[in-house]
Amino acid sequence: MTEKTEATTENHDSDDVVARVLARAETRAAGYSLFTNSAAQALQRDTTGRESGFDGDQSEREDRQALRRVVGLSTELEDVTEVEYRQLRIENVILIGVYTQGSLTDAENSMHELAALAETAGAVVLEGLLQRRPTPDPSTYFGKGKAHELRDLVQSLGADTVIADSELAPSQRRALEDVVKVKVIDRTAVILDIFSQHAKSREGKAQVELAQLEYLLPRLRGWGDSMSRQAGGQVGGAGAGMGSRGPGETKIELDRRRIHTRMARLRKQIVEMKPARDAKRANRKRNAVPSVAIAGYTNAGKSSLLNRVTRAGVLVENALFATLDSTVRKTTAVDGRQYTFADTVGFVRNLPHQLVEAFRSTLEEVADADVIIHVVDGAHPDPASQLATVRDVIGEVGARGIPEIVAFNKSDLISESDRIVLRGLEPRSVFVSARTGEGIAELLEMVEQALPKPTITVDVLLPYERGDLVALLHDHNTVLSTDYEEAGTRVRALVNPEYEQALEEFAVSR
Ligand SMILES: Nc1nc2c(ncn2[C@@H]2O[C@H](COP(=O)(O)OP(=O)(O)OP(=O)(O)O)[C@@H](O)[C@H]2O)c(=O)[nH]1
Ligand SMILES: [Mg+2]
């Protein structure tokens, strides 16, 4: 980073965050892939950077209250075009987090993830700071003294945004902003921002916008005198940036009303879209096509795995939340039965509750599945907490009773000793690599074992003009034998209950 990216050009609409969010639908998502590279770098560091943290020197000097730098967070820009592009809309951010004694590694992992999230959202990360204290300061998150140090750092690095690694109360955010004089947002705002950039389907967009407005509503604020003009300019530079900044005090009431109106409209739209989706799902259910949901932490390789097993051509990206709409693909089991795979939205620690609500629809794929493949990035520094996070969400959508197969993905990157640890974590699991294909056959076998099996034995003679029934038996049931007789096709098969009646008239009496 050589040049400070002072994008002070777009003051006009940045003053009106409400208009911005409302107008977002038309502009989002464009040119997005530009950031994949650097997001990828952050992620790469995340998965391989166990040593990252800090060196011994710092550790010795550490005093109880000191701010700790999280090393290796700052974004490296690739080339000139990227730098230029970023000057248009990118924000320079400093990440902050609070950790308690003993939770440092966890806090650092979380900060690396926050860095990846921020970069995925399009920001340049300048610095990451952790403060040790029992709980975040109720008024300013960081303690007063540290908040002032943060302000100095913001000034010297030319940051225009501070991102806190946990959800801030509106009052905390306000107080901290008043100290550091630049925009302060939290993890939730970043995740919402990414979702809004990635959502593609009409329903997904509506849901994300609703979640954003819900988040924004209690956080509207006017800047009044608390921001210096200079800082105001910096904040203003974040024309299309992350999070949200309040409009002038006098406009707040008006904005609240506009937001409420908009939210009501979105809710109505979403309700109207539901029947179509339900019909689709009901249709699959009626045809008794068993379904497998691929769930897991973001960037675990869910889409890659779906592509590997079905050649679906779903977007794979080393970025967080590449997938926001669920893709469903049909496939055929070894015994000829058909079933579906559904790719789903990734989970993340502290998934904003607004989004759990918003994404209930894609999560319904999970709740309705006959089998869940729980994909875990086996090369991640902390797979255990990813497992736990995902299981929490699975529980939240009422899917806990569904058979779950844990697949440790990226096995091409997992060492023998790590495999032993992972096995210990989840004895009934399978190692797979969407990249090399390792373990995929074994995984499919486990899936097919776990799928509900047709159990009723039938022996039927189907006239030749009923080829449709023969096909039905092959697709959705287990055919044991087929013989071509004079009067038709004699089939012995195991079928699901709903087929028994339809086949009754063709039964061969013994
Ligand atoms: N080395 C290795 N990389 C993999 C493997 N599977 C996936 N990846 C990489 O992991 C990254 C994420 O893959 P995706 O399939 O997009 O992950 P996802 O779980 O669908 O992610 P979201 O949709 O963002 O939640 C990509 O860069 C993939 O190339 C694997 O088996 N080995
Ligand atoms: Mg995906």
Residue 103: the pLDDT is: 79
Which of 304, 348, 349, 409 to mutate for ligand 1's pocket (most ligand atoms within 8 Å of CB)? 304
Residue 22: the pLDDT is: 46
Residue 274: the pLDDT is: 77
**Alpha-carbon torsion (57, 145, 129, 165), positive or negative:** positive
16 has which bridge partners? none
d(C-alpha 205, C-alpha 207), whole Å = 5
Write down the ipTM of this complex: 0.98
Judge contact between 64 and 395, C-beta under 8 A. Answer: no
Write the DSSP symbol of residue 467: H
Which of 317, 347, 438 to mutate for ligand 1's pocket (most ligand atoms within 8 Å of CB)? 317
Judge contact between 410 and 377, C-beta under 8 A. Answer: yes
Judge contact between 320 and 345, C-beta under 8 A. Answer: no
Distances (CA, A) of 127 to 71, 78, 165: 8, 18, 13
Write the DSSP symbol of residue 131: E
Tokens 């308690």: give the residue.
100
Judge contact between 284 and 291, C-beta under 8 A. Answer: yes
Nearest CA to ligand 1 atom 7: 301
Q: Which residues of the chain have a pLDDT value below 50?
A: 1-18, 20-65, 77-90, 223-241, 244-247
| Residues 107, 408, 443: CA angle, nearest 5 degrees | 160
351's CB contacts (< 8 A; 6+ apart) are: 191, 389, 393
d(C-alpha 330, C-alpha 273), whole Å = 23
Q: How many C-alpha atoms does 501 have within 13 Å on its Cβ side?
A: 2
Kindly list the structural domains of the chain, giving each domain's residue range(s) and its CATH number in brackets, ordered by start.
Answer: 11-265 (3.40.50.11060), 288-450 (3.40.50.300), 456-506 (no CATH)
Distances (CA, A) of 215 to 95, 143, 205: 20, 25, 15
Q: pTM here?
A: 0.66
Residue 316: the pLDDT is: 60
- DSSP H helices, 252-381, are 252-286, 302-310, 353-358, 360-367
Residues with C-beta less than 6 Å from any ligand 1 atom: 296, 298-304, 316-318, 320-323, 346, 409-410, 412-413, 433-435
Tokens 């795995």: give the residue.
305
- Quote the ligand 1 centre to 304 CA distance (angstroms): 6
**Alpha-carbon torsion (372, 375, 381, 386), positive or negative:** negative
| H or E stretch covering 406 | strand 404-409
Ligand 1 nearest-atom number relative to CA 307? 15
To the nearest 10°, report the CA torsion of 410, 415, 421, 427: 50
- Quote the ligand 1 centre to 359 CA distance (angstroms): 21
Residue type, 129: L
Judge contact between 363 and 296, C-beta under 8 A. Answer: no
Q: Which of 306, 328, 354, 45 is nearest to 191 (CA)?
A: 354
- Quote the ligand 1 centre to 446 CA distance (angstroms): 21
